[in-house]
Structure 1
């Protein structure tokens, strides 16, 4: 179902034969993408919070979750971190014990082993809960508000259900007033789905490629505001994605 691929920064990812996509952009690198597109902007926006609740959609190879821990430990961030992450493929999770992660994650091996075995990890600062199953069903039953949401599912071409207006409405209901959503997607239909669910859309260029950030409230810390109402006027054929 998978083949191992080494990305540009030397870190490994997988190619999914089912979804016909890589888990990471091989020209950027798995670690580079995790930190630049998700972790760094999220923690640049949220500075010095006592507690940070993170929703990692979807766990996959775990780079976003592990990259978060790597980042907070290397930047002396003392916030209590709670991570919730759904993942459809239980066999993938179990296989990660033998996955060849980059040297940056060497100190995280005990965490990886615990997650593979128990789908759970906890220490004095970090608590991680993995859920095996359908992400949308999982979100419907959550009773928690998140500070950070990593929207990192496979693209809407192959994982359509995790990019629709109705899906983003679930995320909206789980968001605080200062929640940040990070995603690699800059597709207009995706941005319209987020916008119609109630989010404010911003374009952000961390180092290489453009990406999208979304917020419930207007902010002036990260990115350039994208006027989606004007976008719809200028491009009336553009449509959001809706549940089929």
Structure 2
């Protein structure tokens, strides 16, 4: 366990040789600023949202979504679909020390980690233990995608054109995808899958937003065709 700059805890993955969160940004701050707040801002006028959280990991994106809705008295109801490959990680989270912001969510966290599902009048969470590539093919009408897998350098299978094509097909027409990655190969993979690419600066770091339809409401449009013309060596990521 590692304490990040905002006081919230994260873990280090020996398998991927990376922390689950940027220690210098803070785990809960990263979840809120890079995913939850931009996505809910974009969908501020929609009452019910279907969210795909790739991948569950320590649950910060999922739990931060509920926390932010409750803390700011938003009217949204949400249904969250989130895959996680490692069942041992989920079991270990029963003893994980979550931040004080999540105290109100403790009954939800406990039930979800035990039963892999949670349901109330406003919130519904489906935690799928298995391969995210298989899971996304079963979903439809997703309004928000938190693309928060380990980096493409160590987890390329969750950043390829083929993977993002499946994500594209699972999305509603007015979907927003958020990701911390600003790497050109990742953006090209999203673009080749059909997404419009935008750059957004929620706080101190740039992030990428992707949309099924062009959007003028958030971020700066990135012309990926022009980028590829200027950088002939830039390539999208493909399944091996």
TM-score, normalised to structure 1's length?
Answer: 0.97
Residue equivalent to 2:35: 38
Look up the SS of the partner of 1:185 in the other structure. Answer: coil
Match of 1:183 among 174, 179, 182: 179
Distance 1:8 1:221 in 2: 31
Look up the SS of the partner of 2:11 in the other structure. Answer: strand
Instruction: After superposition, give the CA deviation of every residue in 1:34-74 in whole Å (9 maximum; x if it has no partner).
Output: 00000000001001312100000000000000000000001
Residue 145, structure 1, aligned to residue 150, structure 2: no
What is the aligned length? 240
Match of 1:159 among 142, 149, 155: 155
Q: Which moves more between the two structures, 149-158 or 43-52?
A: 43-52
Residue 49, structure 1, aligned to residue 53, structure 2: no
Residue equivalent to 2:85: 88
Instruction: After superposition, give the CA deviation of every residue in 1:127-153 in whole Å (9 maximum; x if it has no partner).
Output: 0001001100111223x2111000000
Residue equivalent to 1:109: 106
Structure 2 gap ranges (5+): none
- Answer whether contact 1:48 1:77 (CA < 8 A) is retained: no
4+ residue stretches of structure 1 with deviation over 3 A?
A: none
Instruction: After superposition, give the CA deviation of every residue in 1:63-117 in whole Å (9 maximum; x if it has no partner).
Output: 0000000000011112220000000011111111211011000111111111111
Look up the SS of the partner of 1:178 in the other structure. Answer: strand
TM-score, normalised to structure 2's length?
Answer: 0.99
State the 1:174 CA deviation. 0.8
State the 1:6 CA deviation. 0.4
Residue equivalent to 2:68: 71
Alpha-carbon RMSD across the aligned residues, in angstroms, is 0.7
- Answer whether contact 1:96 1:112 (CA < 8 A) is retained: no
